[in-house]
Amino acid sequence: MKFLDLAKVYIRSGGGGAGAVSFRREKFIEYGGPDGGDGGNGGDVWAEAVEGLNTLIDFRYQQHFFAKSGQHGMGAQRTGASGDDIVLKVPVGTEILDEDGETVIADLTEPGQRVLLARGGNGGFGNLHFKSSTNRAPRHANPGQPGVERTLWLRLKLIADAGLVGLPNAGKSTFLAAVSNARPKIADYPFTTLVPNLGVVGVDGHEFVMADIPGLIEGASEGKGLGDQFLGHVERSNVLLHLVDGTSEDVAADARTILTELEAYSPVLAEKPRITVLNKIDALDEDMRAERLAALQEEVGGPVLSMSGVSREGLTEVLRALWQKIEPTRKPKVEKTTTWQP
């Protein structure tokens, strides 16, 4: 299944049915009177967050979603049937934006959350509704209200407990493959990862979700490389895992590049709890490890862990450090359905 995290959709709620103009025609009843029924209401358009989806690819093949209109009213005081609603099933973590691509209408972060995107039009009143003491035979009825048309953007931000960041070939995919059942593409050239990957990681009987995004390079915030468009998938993470390639000639400069790009994308993202790790230590001797570990600690201004995704040295210590950051943020799971109506 292809990954898609941005989609444009066109929606329209159903129009209300028109009221009926009708009069009773019954044998032996001298004055029949009006009996036109009301029109049915148009269908609404909803969006609902559901489990089991992690891409918006379905919205590449269908962009138009139109709810059914209400039926017209009929004689004998019969009200028209209301139109069927239509529900857009989206992955958990989907933001719904207005046509300008900036105004957030709703952020669906929990399964079962729903948001009303367009309300259907009300059905029109039939002529029975206008009967009065001075107007015994009204010959007019209301038309139904038209539906609402909107153009919206769907933007997916994956929900993960931990997010992997680093330069291309920092070993992020190797690490994710080593600690989870995820099978991201791994190769010895830059930008092996082209789309985000999710993996469920376990340590000491605990499980959490980790997201791997394509590598950042200097100037990513200006559109270089793959840009910084995928950083949105780690915005919801509780902690960032910053991997630095230990075989690089200047690990401090590599770390500085990532921190600069995070700050350029969002100061909030740059301030998230972060664990810095010197990776690929299996390719370094003891002296080089100590030298580059010290340089990295000086650059980030805090402790730095070391590990190797290939030899698995230090993996458990890194996972435990991640869990220590994640555990306080965990909330008890409560089964609930939240409905939002803007």
CATH 2.70.210.12 segments of the chain: 1-156
pLDDT at 156: 87
Q: Answer yes or no: is 280 a known binding residue.
A: yes
pLDDT at 335: 45
At 107, give phi and psi (nearest 5°).
Answer: -130, 105
Q: Answer yes or no: is 195 a known binding residue.
A: yes
List the one residue out of 340, 329, 11 whose CA is nearest residue 159.
Answer: 329
Q: Answer yes or no: is 107 a known binding residue.
A: no
Q: Answer yes or no: is 279 a known binding residue.
A: yes
Q: What share of the chain is helix, strand, coil (3-state, %, to 5)?
A: 25, 25, 55
Q: Answer yes or no: is 281 a known binding residue.
A: yes
pLDDT at 123: 94
d(CA 127, CA 157): 51
Provide the b/e sequence for 264-284 (b: ≥16 CB within 10 Å): bbeeebbebebbbbbbbbbeb
pLDDT by residue for the chain (342 residues), tens only, comes to: 467 788 999 999 999 999 999 998 877 777 788 999 999 999 999 999 998 887 888 898 899 999 999 999 999 899 999 999 999 999 888 999 999 988 899 999 889 999 999 999 999 999 999 998 888 889 999 999 999 999 999 988 877 888 888 888 888 888 888 888 766 555 554 555 556 777 788 888 888 888 887 766 665 555 554 445 677 777 788 889 899 988 888 889 988 988 888 888 888 888 888 899 999 888 888 888 899 899 988 988 888 899 988 888 888 999 999 988 888 887 654 444 444 455
Q: Answer yes or no: is 310 a known binding residue.
A: yes
Q: Answer yes or no: is 221 a known binding residue.
A: no
pLDDT at 223: 54
pLDDT at 338: 46
Q: Answer yes or no: is 213 a known binding residue.
A: yes
Q: Answer yes or no: is 308 a known binding residue.
A: yes
pLDDT at 102: 85
Q: Answer yes or no: is 173 a known binding residue.
A: yes
Q: Answer yes or no: is 101 a known binding residue.
A: no
pLDDT at 143: 93
Q: Answer yes or no: is 339 a known binding residue.
A: no
SS3 275: strand
List the one residue out of 68, 88, 84 whose CA is nearest residue 8.
Answer: 88
Angle at CA 225, nearest 5°, toward 219 and 230? 90
CATH number of 1-156: 2.70.210.12
Q: What's the pTM value of the predicted model, to 2 decimals?
A: 0.74
Do the strands 206-212 and 162-165 form a parallel or antiparallel pair, or are they unpaired? parallel
Provide the b/e sequence for 149-167 (b: ≥16 CB within 10 Å): eeebbbbbbbbbbbbbbbb
d(CA 98, CA 257): 33
Q: Answer yes or no: is 193 a known binding residue.
A: yes
- Convert the pLDDT of each residue in 13-69 to its tens digit: 999 999 999 998 877 777 788 999 999 999 999 999 998 887 888 898 899 999 999
**DSSP output for 287-303:** HHHHHHHHHHHHHHTS-
Architecture of the structural domain at 162-329 = 3-Layer(aba) Sandwich (3.40)
Q: Answer yes or no: is 192 a known binding residue.
A: yes
SS3 215: coil
pLDDT at 272: 86
